[in-house]
Amino acid sequence: MRVHSPLSWIWVLAGIAAIMANGLEYREGRLQVLRGLSLMLFKGEVAALLGYPEAEALLGVLAGVRRPSAGGVRVLDVDPYEERAALSRRLGYLPPEPWLPEWVRVRRLAEMVGARGGLRPREAAERMRNLLARMGMEDRLERRVSELSAEDRALAATLLTLLPDPEVLLLSSPLKMLGPLARSELASLFSEYASRDRALVFSASSIEEADFASRVVLLADGRVAASGPLSELLKTIGAEYYVVLRSLDTRRIVDYIGKMPQVKMFSVSRGGAVRVWLNDFEHDLPVVLDLLVSLGIGLDSVEVGRLSAREALLNYIRRRAGSDRL
C-alpha cells in the first residue's frame, strides 16, 4: 500500500516526515471509522489525537495491527501492515488495554522488552530504573505487576514502550489514568524523547491532556477536522474570549455586527443576547463597542466570557457535522 503524492515523497526522501496517511479508509464491521483521512506527522513532533473512535483506529493502522480498507500509509517509509517486521525495532506501540503478566517483576519485563530492542538485560534494567526514577517510583523495579496500583501499572506499560528508544512511539491514552504530578512528569519525558528527532503520537481523552503537545489533531467524522498548535486550535474551535451584548434593539446589533470585519462569528440567544467572537479580542473589542455607540445603538449590558475547551470542542464538532450534511 503506497502513498502516491509526489510532494509527500519529497518530504520522506528528505527524512523529515515520520508518518504519512493519504486517503486512509478503515472499517470496523459496518462502521466506517476513517473516511479518506490524510495526515503528515514529522520527526521532532509530539502529536495528540483527539476524537473517538478515530484516534484509536488511526493508531492501530499506523502500528500495523489494523488493516486499512483503502488509502496509503507509511511509517518511516515503510508500510506498517505489509512490512511490519521491518518496523519491529523502530516503532513502539502502546495498545488501548496493555496486558502485563501479574506474576512477573517489572525488572524482568524490562529485560524481555529490551531484548527485543537489542539491549542486554543489565542495560535494559538500568534504563527502566532511570525511567522509573524520573517518575518517583524507582522502588517499583523489583515489584511484581500484581503489587502495582492501577496508576503504576499504566505508567509501567508506557515506560516499557519507551524503554527501547524507538524512532516512533504510538501511545493509546497514556495519560488517562494518571494524577496531575505523574501526568506532568510523563509529559516532560515525551517532550525530551521527541526533541531527539523522534516522533510521538498519542490519543488524548481531553484537550487538557494535550496541552503540552506541539500539535493537536482533532478527528471527527472519520477525517482531520482541525490540526495545529493547541493555542491555534482553541481559536479555531471557538475556545476563546467572547463578548455578550444586550440591547432593546437586537436586530440592529445583528445587522451591523454581521458586516464588521473585526467579527469572526456571532450567535443570538432566545432572550436576544448577542454573543460575539472577535478576530483579535483585546484589539477589536473597543473598536466594535465604539462603532455600535457611534451608530446610536444603546447597550443595556456588556459582559465578557469564555467557552470551556470541552464546550467549544463539542460545538465545533456539531457545526462540522451539520455542514457536512448540507
Q: Is residue 258 part of a domain?
A: yes
Say yes or no to pLDDT of 101 above 60: yes
Q: What is the pLDDT of residues 139-194, one digit of tens each?
A: 999 999 999 999 999 999 999 999 999 999 999 999 988 888 889 999 999 999 99
Q: How many structural domains comprise the chain?
A: 1
Which helix or strand (DSSP H or E) is residue 251 part of?
helix 250-257
Read off the pLDDT band of 205 (50, 70, 90): confident
Share of the chain above pLDDT 90, in %: 45
Read off the pLDDT band of 25 (50, 70, 90): very high
Q: Is residue 279 part of a domain?
A: yes
What CATH number corresponds to the domain at position 272? 3.30.70.100
Question: Rounded to a whole number, what is the largest CA-CA distance in the chain?
Answer: 79
Read off the pLDDT band of 319 (50, 70, 90): low
* pLDDT for the residue numbered 272: 87
* pLDDT for the residue numbered 310: 64
Q: Is residue 127 part of a domain?
A: no
213: DSSP letter: -
Among 7-21, 102-116, 257-271, 294-308, which stretch is predicted with the lowest mean pLDDT? 7-21
Amino acid at 55: A
Mean of the per-residue pLDDT values of the chain: 86
Say yes or no to pLDDT of 309 above 70: no
- DSSP string of 175-201, one letter each residue: TTT--HHHHHHHHHHHHHHHTTT-EEE
Q: Is residue 47 part of a domain?
A: no
Q: Is residue 25 part of a domain?
A: no
Cβ atoms 142, 105 nearer than 8 A: yes
Say yes or no to pLDDT of 321 above 90: no
Residue 273: which domain range?
241-306
Q: What is the pLDDT of residues 35-78, one digit of tens each?
A: 999 999 999 999 999 988 999 999 999 999 999 999 989 999 88
Residue 85 CA to residue 304 CA, distance in Å, equals 56
Q: Is residue 11 part of a domain?
A: no
Q: Is 123 helix (H, G, I), strand (E, B) or coil?
A: helix
Q: Is residue 300 part of a domain?
A: yes
Read off the pLDDT band of 1 (50, 70, 90): very low
Q: Is residue 252 part of a domain?
A: yes
